[in-house]
Structure 1
Amino acid sequence: MTNLKITSHSSFSALLEGLPSPQQHFIDEATQRQSALTKPPGSLGRLEEIAVFLAGWQGKLKPTTDNVHCLVFAGNHGVTRKGVSAFPSEVTEQMVANFATGGAAINQLCAAAGATLDVIALDLDQPVADFTSGPAMSDEECCAAIQAGIDAVPEDADIILLGEMGIGNTTSAAAVAQATFGCFPSDWVGRGTGVDDNGFKAKLKAVEDAHLLHLSSQISSFDILRTVGGRELAAIAGATLAARHKRIPVILDGLISTAAAAALVKSNPDALDHCLISHLSVEPGHKLIAEKVHKKPLLDLGMRLGEASGAAVALMIIKSALAAHNGMATFKEAGVTSGD
């Protein structure tokens, strides 16, 4: 396996080249199994697609969810000083403490879905810089955050769920999406934690200012994460990249985790081939990102919490897909006449 160490911009870019692909013969075998199961072809819709997708990436005819890890990265943002959030940055650390004592939504959803929850707090006492006046991170800080994401991915995971916690990070996610895909700042900015009109205007101005300031230097994925990302966004990108090198399928959460991972496509358009998007956030920019990376979210439940909450709920759908794929009898096994 490639040495997954990030020491510079160039080492990160090198890891985005020559990415592993799914194993085609397992895709073919899983597809054949689906056609032989006791049901009309295609009658389970996207559940069939999910099973085949996982077979290819896990390298198993019958994929498993015995070892699912939910990784929630937490970071703080200097841009909160611009009034872009309805909550102060202290809430990030308070919510991390809530995760630790089992009191958050993601604790309950991971327990229900059978996923192990790991919360990784990234220098919460040192917010990244305000990206409207300069880069959010130095090269060294960005490398360290990416490496934290890489190091959090277990070797033996069946699936990785990726989420975040960070007051102000919907503003950062909007700026990352703007830098990755273009369009206009207004296409990416939403209400986040529920800001009022003044807060919304502050978010929009922050993303516009960042766009004007950093546009000429946002050439690569690393550039985008360094200039307008946060530590948790960079870590999500690192975890996504590490999972790809280990052929571990990834379930992205809402706007922030999808934007963070999608920054990788700036340098490699195929970087998210191993990812599914769990749900469609009510944040307006999330739908546009999903369209840009050609992925249809599995669920649309009006969620906008973050924390990998949508990913954990989607895991229950994924388990249903595999229960049918792995457990159903074939026409031959059941002695049922097929429609061939």
Structure 2
Amino acid sequence: MSLDFSSLDRVAASAPALPAFDEEAASAARARQAELTKPPGSLGRLEDLAIFMAGWRGDPRPHVFDAQALVFAGNHGICAQGVSPFPPEVTAQMVANFERGGAAINQLCRHAGARLSVVPLDLDRPTADFTEGPAMTEDECLDAMRRGADAVESPDILILGEMGIGNSTVSAALAHACFGGTAADWIGRGTGADAAGMARKAEVVAAGIARHPEASGLQILAALGGREQAAICGAILAARAARIPVLLDGFICTAAAAPLFAADPAFLAHCQVGHMSLEPGHRRLCEALGQRPILELDMALGEGTGAAVALSVLRGALECHNGMATFAEAGVSGA
């Protein structure tokens, strides 16, 4: 199906028309799991992941022949408020490192068998400072969403990650606007903020929320988000339209998706959170989204790294689902 990015309201209204989980394929996958040479449920989450993939790919025996990882990069006007110990120039420097193959995400994608694309989004043109006005106009937000959607190249599974100095503050603001609490509930160390830096981040997030009390749903994305967050949302929507399951990375990537959930929880039904970030707001955020991350490894790097590790687990789940013998095939007596 085609997506309508003519307005945020039209995007928000599109959820009922998006492809749904294929219950018939999932039921067939569940029945196969019951016949494999193992006690029922003994592979735990691996069984659940295989059934999840079956339902979204519409195939009782799904495969991951092609995995695509997308890392979106953006810069943020909020950095002028002193929310990061690193300067915004680091965003472009890290993009160059990704392109040379020198970052953690390059190594983990190679190991997990995912092709990696890095998409810098107007790094020379940061978003506006959200304590002074909207971070993006609606047109700027929609443009970034379109660019995110256009980057999806019909893989069997999509991994999403990000890079952007200052975006842990942006993420805290998005989560706060979507799910309430206090600014301090969502603040973490990010790229290494000390106690004073974290206090500053909390002040800035609180100021942003106070500046945009009317924002709701996808309007939150334009008011407080960055281009990389908007691109992540666009990629999630493009994946859903093509029945492609999505592995979200940690706190920043999950927070980017939160305005979609706020608009309609159904938007994220085809997504799994790859790992539980060490950022303290991520556990609270996953609970609000009803998500149980696949892994918990005390990671907090971003870049899509946790989701890339989770891809290896997902591949293992499908190898068992598709490659194990049934009791009948193996000549083993069932229960």
- Structure 2 length-normalised TM: 0.98
2:160 aligns with one of 159, 162, 166: 162
- 1:254 aligned residue: 250
Contact 1:175 1:228 in 2 (8 A): yes
Contact 2:157 2:247 in 1 (8 A): yes
- Confirm or deny that 1:272 pairs with 2:241: no
- Confirm or deny that 1:133 pairs with 2:129: no
- Confirm or deny that 1:328 pairs with 2:324: yes
Query: What is the alpha-carbon distance in structure 2 between the residues aligned to residue 71 and residue 235 of structure 1?
Result: 10
Query: What is the alpha-carbon distance in structure 1 between the residues aligned to residue 49 and residue 8 of structure 2?
Result: 34
CA drift at 1:59: 0.9
- 1:66 aligned residue: 65
Contact 2:15 2:266 in 1 (8 A): no
- 1:171 aligned residue: 169
- 2:211 aligned residue: 213
- Confirm or deny that 1:115 pairs with 2:114: yes
1:76-120 Cα deviation digits (max 9, x unpaired): 001111111121000000000000100000000000000010100
CA drift at 1:198: 2.0
Q: For this pair of structures, how many residues does the alignment match?
A: 335
Q: Which amino acid aligns with 1:109?
A: L
- 1:296 aligned residue: 292
- 2:14 aligned residue: 15
Q: Which amino acid aligns with 2:161?
A: G
1:176-230 Cα deviation digits (max 9, x unpaired): 01111111111111110111122111110110000111012x1222x11100000
- 2:178 aligned residue: 180
- Identity percentage of aligned residues: 53
Query: What is the alpha-carbon distance in structure 2 between the residues aligned to residue 257 and residue 311 of structure 1?
Result: 10
Query: What is the alpha-carbon distance in structure 2 between the residues aligned to residue 183 and residue 18 of structure 1?
Result: 32
Query: What is the alpha-carbon distance in structure 1 between the residues aligned to residue 69 and residue 75 of structure 2?
Result: 20
2:200 aligns with one of 199, 202, 222: 202
1:59-80 Cα deviation digits (max 9, x unpaired): 1111111110000000000111
Query: What is the alpha-carbon distance in structure 2 between the residues aligned to residue 337 and residue 17 of structure 1?
Result: 45
CA drift at 1:10: 2.8
1:219-244 Cα deviation digits (max 9, x unpaired): 222x1110000000011011111111
1:294-330 Cα deviation digits (max 9, x unpaired): 1111111110000000000000000110110000000
Query: What is the alpha-carbon distance in structure 1 between the residues aligned to residue 210 and residue 149 of structure 2?
Result: 31
Query: What is the alpha-carbon distance in structure 1 between the residues aligned to residue 80 and residue 16 of structure 2?
Result: 37
Query: What is the alpha-carbon distance in structure 2 between the residues aligned to residue 16 and residue 60 of structure 1?
Result: 22
Query: What is the alpha-carbon distance in structure 1 between the residues aligned to residue 54 and residue 106 of structure 2?
Result: 28
Contact 1:192 1:283 in 2 (8 A): yes
Query: What is the alpha-carbon distance in structure 2 between the residues aligned to residue 285 and residue 320 of structure 1?
Result: 29
**Ranges of 4+ aligned residues in structure 1 off by more than 3 Å:** none
Gaps of 5+ in 2: none
1:242-286 Cα deviation digits (max 9, x unpaired): 111111100000011101112101111221110100000011111
- 1:83 aligned residue: 82
Q: Which amino acid aligns with 1:302?
A: D
Query: What is the alpha-carbon distance in structure 2 between the residues aligned to residue 140 and residue 17 of structure 1?
Result: 24
Moved more, 205-214 or 15-24: 15-24
Moved more, 182-191 or 312-321: 182-191
Aligned partner of residue 160 in structure 1, secondary structure: strand
Q: Which amino acid aligns with 1:184?
A: T
Query: What is the alpha-carbon distance in structure 1 between the residues aligned to residue 193 and residue 217 of structure 2?
Result: 31
Query: What is the alpha-carbon distance in structure 2 between the residues aligned to residue 8 and residue 78 of structure 1?
Result: 23
